[in-house]
Amino acid sequence: MTEPKRYVRNMRGYGANPPKANWPGGAHVAVSFVVNYEEGGENCVLHGDAASEAFLSEIVGAAPWPAKRHWNMESIYEYGARAGFWRLHRLFTEAGLPVTVYGVADALARSPDQVAAMQEAGWEIASHGLKWIDYRDHEEDAERADLAEAIRLHTEVVGERPKGLYVGRTSVNTVKLAAQEGGFTWISDTYDDDLPYWLDHDGQGRAIDPQLVIPYTLDANDMRFATAQGFNSGDQFFAYLKDAFDTHYAEGEAGRPSMMSIGLHCRLVGRPGRVAALKRFVDYVKSHDNAWVARRIDIAEHWIAKHPYKPHGLRPSRMGRKAFVSRFGSIFEHSPWIAERAFELELGPAHDSADGLHNALARMFRSASEPERLGVLQAHPDLAGKLAQARRLTEESTREQASAGLDALTDDERAAFTELNETYVAKFGFPFIIAVKDNTKASILDAFRHRIANDRDTEFATACKQVERIAYLRLKDILPQ
């Protein structure tokens, strides 16, 4: 039998309850300043590329020049190396703030003075790939070879292997290749969270060894000076960064610390008309006592120490058909067909929680025919009925009825339940169903007496809702919320 399609993207993440970051000193936010050093690694026929660069420069909307040098583009990139870098270097060293550099290996090799300055300042130099080029159409083996060469050249130029990686202009294989390489403490080619997280699949449905991901940003990023509908002035850049920082800080103060990344480029924010805004923001961050400004390797090492990888428990979206039906076939009482149908849905990481899997199972129950749903209702036992007395309930029903004290009734209470059960079934054709975990003996009896006066359509709908509620409570016992 063909296994159904699975949805590999993770739309859930940490969900409503992210882990407490526990940043050093109880900081409300971890701030990561990133300097992208790409100058000398961009597309250029001098570098053996087919055309000139067209991305992230003062020439908004530039197009590649096939087989030609673009003198203006080259000189704009050169400004970043010759002037912009040193302006940023002075800003951060005078402020005493640590920085992570995303260093393109070819660019670093062409800028020994800048590399020496980065090292003297104690900046982390992470890998930004071999060349600052677009990998979206690269064959997987070609991209793998470039990654290996990027690591080799980086190690040769810097003197040590990079511990972090951000390629930027990625293909669908980039994150997978980085994780498979196995030597990176962290990677940042995602934009999907405000906290680090562990990735244990390759984005294409296959398991990998756990890889720490520190998500990056394209919004709190000076690249928007070079894109349509981006920042037109330093004031806009500062206002955006300040708003983002204030939000992170307030959330951290309220008990949900997170991480803010700021992306910088020597040829962009390194211009005099923009760097002043960056300085104002640096000063603003420094004016707050509970902001931890850190390199990405520092954030990674903190996360590894405080939030090491822990293997997940049940993952419905990764289970085979037999195991899935065996484990979840009893969530809806004696109705494994609901799990069988749910298995055929496009399950993904979002369904690996109680809420997520309940949604999938409930969809199959709701879309079933009325006779099928009636069968589910009829599969439920009477409350405190003969099956309970004979100890013939399912494990789930036994625990649930006991939780409300229905296994310890007085003679009068048992007589009341028996009479109500008989009257209810005779009227509606299915037993009275209620999520006993939400109730007490008294509230169950009150609901029993109230609902027995309903018409059949109303009570059928009410019972179906209670069936779904019971299923959800059962899932909560075995899956995370």
CB of 177 within 8 A of CB of 204?
no
Q: Which two tokens stand for residue 467?
A: 């069936």
CA distance 355 to 335: 19
H or E stretch at 473:
helix 456-476
Interstrand relation of 100-103 and 29-37 (parallel, antiparallel or unpaired): parallel
CB of 314 within 8 A of CB of 479?
yes
CB of 223 within 8 A of CB of 229?
no
CA distance 147 to 209: 18
Query: Residue 139: helix, strand or coil by DSSP?
Result: coil
Look up tokens 């999520």; give the residue. 435
Q: Which residues pair with 100 in a beta bridge?
A: 34, 124
Handedness of CA 263, 264, 268, 273 (dihedral sign): positive
Q: Which two tokens stand for residue 107?
A: 């660019």
Cβ-Cβ contacts under 8 Å for 401 (sequence gap 6 or more): 383, 384, 388, 393, 407, 436
Handedness of CA 138, 64, 157, 263 (dihedral sign): negative
- E strands within 161-307? 164-165, 186-187, 197-201, 207-213, 258-265, 291-293
Q: What angle do CA 287, 292, 298 make, to 5 degrees?
A: 150
288, 302, 380, 450: the catalytic one is 380
Helix residue ranges, H only, 172-233:
174-181
Residue 128 catalytic?
Answer: no
Q: Which two tokens stand for residue 99?
A: 């920085």
Cβ-Cβ contacts under 8 Å for 286 (sequence gap 6 or more): 95, 97
Among 369, 364, 370, 368, which Cα is nearest to 325's?
364
Among 375, 372, 406, 377, which Cα is nearest to 389's?
406
Three-state SS string over 63-77 comes to CCCECCCCHHHHHHH
Residues known to be catalytic: 380
